[in-house]
Amino acid sequence: SAEQLFKDKNAGPTIETVAELIKSGKAKKIMIMCGAGISTAAGIPDFRSPGTGIYNNLRKYNLPYPEAIFDIDYFKENPEPFYALAKELYPTKFKPTLTHYFITLLHRKNILLRCFTQNIDTLERIAGLPDDKIVEAHGSFARSECLHCYAEADPDRVREAVFGEEIPKCSSCKVGLVKPCITFFGECLPVKFFEYLDDFLYCDLLIVIGTSLQVQPFASLVDRVESPTIRLLINREPIYEYFDFEGIYSEISRDAFYKGDCDDGIRKLAELIGWQDELEELYTIG
């Protein structure tokens, strides 16, 4: 049919195309953008998946709206809901997933330009990515500080408070509320986010994994990667606001989509490149 012909004519790249780019050595500066979807397999819920997402399970906190739990003005008045949730999210018992280790493998092969993550679980660090390769766009639990005098809080004291169900208070000024350096709605992103923005202009492949791309300014980073640089989305659901998988808006699509679980997509990508043993070993020894 004409529609089918049209589709075939504009058939864009696939995960096989991406594997070939990496295997052939053409892709040397790979950008990774990731979200909560890469940590669900580690037991950390994402935010928006129907039923299991964090935003669907906050009724007990009587919030005015779900995102209030990460809103800086709401937090200053009512820190309790965030700290109750922090107890579930605090990076202690979670192990990085196969996807985290694939990103580490890219780094070990010297073809990772940067990993921009929205996640606050620090699993990229635990999987062995060095600090200069990671941009935690929404901060993380790694540091905490006082909202009044900005003194850095002792991480052990914060952890004790989180698990002791107390609200951590500043040990310097004695009055301020202590908050992990997670980017709340209403706060600006870490300086590092802006320092590395140009990476998107120089990368030769973008892989977006496990995110709904609902939150700005992170989501619009995908548009900073200029055509014809290929962009691969690995996600349970497609995202049409940013990607043109069928080549409807442009002569030839440059966007590939792998629909499914991150770890399945990553395992397939690794197999196509010939890295399956290395990846499984890295995942096993951790």
User: Quick one: 185 exposed, middle or buried, by C-beta within 10 A (0-12, 13-18, 19+)?
Assistant: middle
The mark string for 145-184 relative to ligand APR (x by CB under 6 A, - otherwise) is ----------------------------------------
63: three-class secondary structure by DSSP:
coil
Work out which of 237, 241, 277, 281 binds ligand APR, going by CB under 6 A. 237
User: Quick one: 263 exposed, middle or buried, by C-beta within 10 A (0-12, 13-18, 19+)?
Assistant: buried
Q: Which of 100, 107, 138, 148 is catalytic?
A: 138
Q: Does 12 bind ligand APR (CB under 6 A)?
A: no
User: Quick one: 231 exposed, middle or buried, by C-beta within 10 A (0-12, 13-18, 19+)?
Assistant: buried
The mark string for 193-212 relative to ligand APR (x by CB under 6 A, - otherwise) is -----------------xxx
Transcribe 119-140 into DSSP letters. Answer: -SS-HHHHTT--GGGEEETTEE
Work out which of 32, 41, 105, 282 binds ligand APR, going by CB under 6 A. 41
Dihedral of CA 169/175/180/186: which sign?
A: positive
Q: Does 121 bind ligand APR (CB under 6 A)?
A: no
* Rounded-to-5 percentages of helix, strand, coil across the chain: 40, 15, 45
Tokens 């998107």 belong to which residue? 200
Please give the residues from 127 up to 146 whose contact with ligand APR meets the rule CB under 6 A: 138
Stretch of residues binding ligand APR (CB under 6 A), selected from 1-9, 13-21, 127-135, 234-242: 234-242
* Minimum CB distance to ligand APR smaller for 66 or for 151: 66
Q: Among this protein's residues, is 107 annotated catalytic?
A: no
* Minimum CB distance to ligand APR smaller for 145 or for 261: 261
First to last CA, the chain: 50
CB 201 within 8 A of CB 227: no
Q: Does 236 bind ligand APR (CB under 6 A)?
A: yes
Smallest distance from the beta carbon of 214 to ligand APR, in angstroms? Answer: 5
Smallest distance from the beta carbon of 261 to ligand APR, in angstroms? Answer: 4
Q: Which two tokens mark 18?
A: 């991406």
Interface residues with ligand APR (CB under 6 A) are: 35-37, 40-41, 46-49, 53, 70, 118, 138, 210-212, 214-215, 235-237, 261-262
Q: Which residues are annotated as a binding site for NAD(+)?
A: 36-40, 46-48, 118-121, 211-212, 235-237, 262
Catalytic residue ranges: 138
